[in-house]
Amino acid sequence: MWGEYSTGLLLVLVAAVIGFVALAVETDDLHRLLLLDLVEIAALGIIALLGSDLAEALILPGLTVGIAELLALSQIYVTKENLKDRPVRGLNIEVIQKADAPAVLSAFLVVYGLILSGFTGGGVAALGLVFFFASRGYKEDLEMLEMAGGISWAVWILAFFVFMFLPQYWFIALMCAGVGILIKVMVKLSLSGTVWGERHG
């Protein structure tokens, strides 16, 4: 009867409406935040149904916006409920804290991320670093990392300007963009793993 796109769009909109109805009925704030993630998935579904390369180009900023809002709102929630200084017991699992496995796994993930490079590589490498920090409970001085992240982000934007105005130098711009975004994403995501701080009980 209908094409694939129309049926898919109808189903995703049904999912979004279900999410919104539940959001309207809910009263607890943290439940609302979880339901917001659900409607965010529905929004990404509407974009993904386009099915072309344009859809990918639209999904990535949508994801970034979603995660930024989620970070901001969760931090406000913690501050609002006066939960900021509540100590959270870290993972007391011996095999993670004392054995070598987390170091090996993190090293593998970081190397894999470096090979992939780009946004995805940054995410994978950051996952490795976050896992390492979460298992060992590091408290690092992060200023240098932040500066590296900022500079690499500027390098990435510069690479895009080179793409647009000096296309004959595309290869070096590509390399700069890949490495820049890798470092930036890695720093940002691994920061989120350390800043929350843990006290091992």
Q: Which is nearer to other proteins, 100 or 167 (CB)?
A: 167
Q: Please state, in angstroms and rounded to a whole number, the distance separating the CA atoms of residues 55 and 62.
A: 10
Give the closest residue to 131 by CA, choosing from 39, 76, 87, 194.
Answer: 194
Nearest distance, CB of residue 160 and other proteins, angstroms: 9
Q: Which is nearer to other proteins, 86 or 100 (CB)?
A: 86
Give the closest residue to 155 by CA, choosing from 116, 184, 122.
Answer: 184
Using CB under 8 A as the criterion, what x/- string covers residues 20-39 for binding other proteins?
Answer: xxxx-----xxxxxxxxxxx
Residues 119 to 138 in contact with other proteins, rule: CB under 8 A: 119-120, 123-124, 127, 130
Residues 61 to 120 in contact with other proteins, rule: CB under 8 A: 61-63, 65-81, 83-84, 86, 88-89, 119-120
Q: Is 178 in the site for other proteins (CB under 8 A)?
A: no
Nearest distance, CB of residue 65 and other proteins, angstroms: 5
